[in-house]
A = this chain, B = another copy of it.
Amino acid sequence: MKELKLAILGATGAVGREMLLLLEEYQIPVKELRLLSGKKSAGTTLPFCGKNIVVEEATEDSFKGLDYVLGAAENAISLHFAPAIQRSGAVYIDNSSAFRADPVVPLVIPEINGEDAKRHQGIIANPNCSTVIALMAAAPLHALSPIRSMVASTYQAVSGAGAEGQRELHEELIAYALETRRDPVVFPVPIAMNVIPNIGARTANDYTDEEMKMQNEGRRILHLPELRVSCTCVRVPVLRSHSISLNLWTQEKISVAEAADAISKFPGCRLITDSVRDYPTPLDAAGQDTILVGRLREDLTQENGLALWCCGDQIRKGAAANALQILQYLER
């Protein structure tokens, strides 16, 4: 790979920091690296390859001469800087949801639809975290027979609400142990020893926007404009890594054995078949890019259905890793 000039926009957040770690871990050849943030975090230093890099305030002039900008900022920031990034000629790989529905912006999971990335016009969108994890488990089955529909219930870690979400769970657990009081700030009710079935904003059909992403983004990534997904997104008191209970129905019947074989061979997936414990938990998935799959069995409600359970690190494959893998795909 040629040496690259890169920036991370939103470098001080949970996803931005993970992108920085992964640039080093993946040994991506970096000629120049700019860490960009809002005014508040500018001046912070972050370690990279044994040096400390000072975070700069992002301005419209920050992107000149770059090959890629890795976006880890929220939608409003992403929308604000996208025109400047495009003018600079850099390819913008954006983890926000700002451009995911834009038909000219490819929405990419490299193992599934990497080819789409090549058709970019300057912006490539990184999908929603739960969508990435569910589709990584579903894609090998889709390759055997097209998916018609899916019912998904998620078990989403507090890392999905950023570093503040992780801090809230941590502090609530400390308060529990010390028998003190700690009122919720990030979530509307306590998340420690609780689960919250409401992530994102409600849409017209009473699903949340987070829940609709699995259908909307799944349609684009799998090239299935008719795909139907009914998703329920639930926050659970897990620090990192999302899990998903997934039932899916395909055009033709796929046997459990065929499904197991396909998942085992799919790059980026691992089917857990250990005789002592043949299912993954979110703790197992934390800190790695691989999506762990288990509990694979026939769905009992309709013909041509399968049920499975999958876990993936929300910050890695659900966000930062997938973005860097898009870059690697384009540069390979």
Residues of A within 8 A of B (CB): 149-151, 153, 155, 169, 173-174, 176-178, 188-190, 193-198, 205-207, 215, 228-230, 232, 234, 236-239, 243, 245, 247, 249, 256, 277, 279, 281-283, 294-302, 305, 307, 309
Q: A245–B239 contact, CB under 8 A?
A: no
Which residue on B lies nearest to A175, using beta carbons? B177
Question: Which residue on chain B has the smallest CB distance to residue A178?
Answer: B177
Q: Inside 8 A of A281's CB, which chain B residues have their CB?
A: 189, 194-197
| Other A-B pairs, 18, CB within 8 Å; known A151-B151, A153-B153, A232-B245 | A149-B302, A151-B301, A155-B236, A173-B176, A174-B177, A176-B177, A189-B277, A193-B238, A193-B239, A194-B282, A197-B243, A197-B245, A198-B277, A198-B279, A205-B297, A230-B247, A234-B243, A237-B237
Chain B residues lying within 8 Å of A205, measured Cβ to Cβ, are 297-298, 300
Shortest Cβ distance from residue A226 to the other chain B in the assembled complex, whole angstroms:
11
Contacts of A207 in B (CB 8 A): 297, 300
Docked pose: A189 CA to B151 CA in angstroms: 27
Q: From A206, which residue of chain B is reached at the shortest CB distance?
A: B297
A234-B232 Cα distance, complex, nearest whole Å: 15
Q: Which of B155, B229, B282 contacts A155 (CB 8 A)?
A: B155
Q: How far is the CA of A192 from the CA of B195 in the complex (A)?
A: 13
Report how far A158 CA is from B173 CA in the complex, Å: 16
**Once the chains are docked, how many angstroms separate the CA of A311 from the CA of B247?**
21
Evaluate whether A195 and B243 lie within 8 angstroms (CB atoms) in the complex, with A177-B178, A236-B236, A277-B188 already known: yes
- A282 — which chain B residues lie within 8 A by C-beta? 194-195
C-alpha gap A195/B282 in the complex (Å): 7
The listed residue (B194, B215, B256, B295) touching A197 by CB distance below 8 A is: B295
Cβ of A330 to closest chain B Cβ, rounded Å: 34
- Specify which chain B residues have a CB less than 8 angstroms from the CB of A195 in the assembled complex: 155, 236, 238, 243, 281-282
- Cβ of B193 and Cβ of A237 under 8 Å apart? yes
- B300 contacts A215, C-beta separation under 8 Å: yes
A230 touches B193 (CB 8 A): no
Report how far A301 CA is from B305 CA in the complex, Å: 13
Partner among B190, B228, B299 whose Cβ is within 8 Å of the Cβ of A300: B228
Question: Considering the chains assembled together, what is the distance between the CA atoms of A300 and B234 in angstroms?
Answer: 18
Give the distance in Å from the alpha carbon of A198 to the alpha carbon of B280 in the complex.
10
* Of the residues B197, B237, B305, contact of A294 by C-beta under 8 Å: B197
Pick the 3 closest A-B CB pairs, nearest first: A177-B177, A153-B153, A149-B301
Which of B155, B232, B300 lies in contact with A230, CB distance below 8 A?
B300
How far in angstroms is the closest Cβ of chain B from A267?
24
When C-beta atoms are compared, the residue in chain B nearest to A294 turns out to be B197
- On chain B, the residues within 8 Å of A176 by CB distance are 173, 177
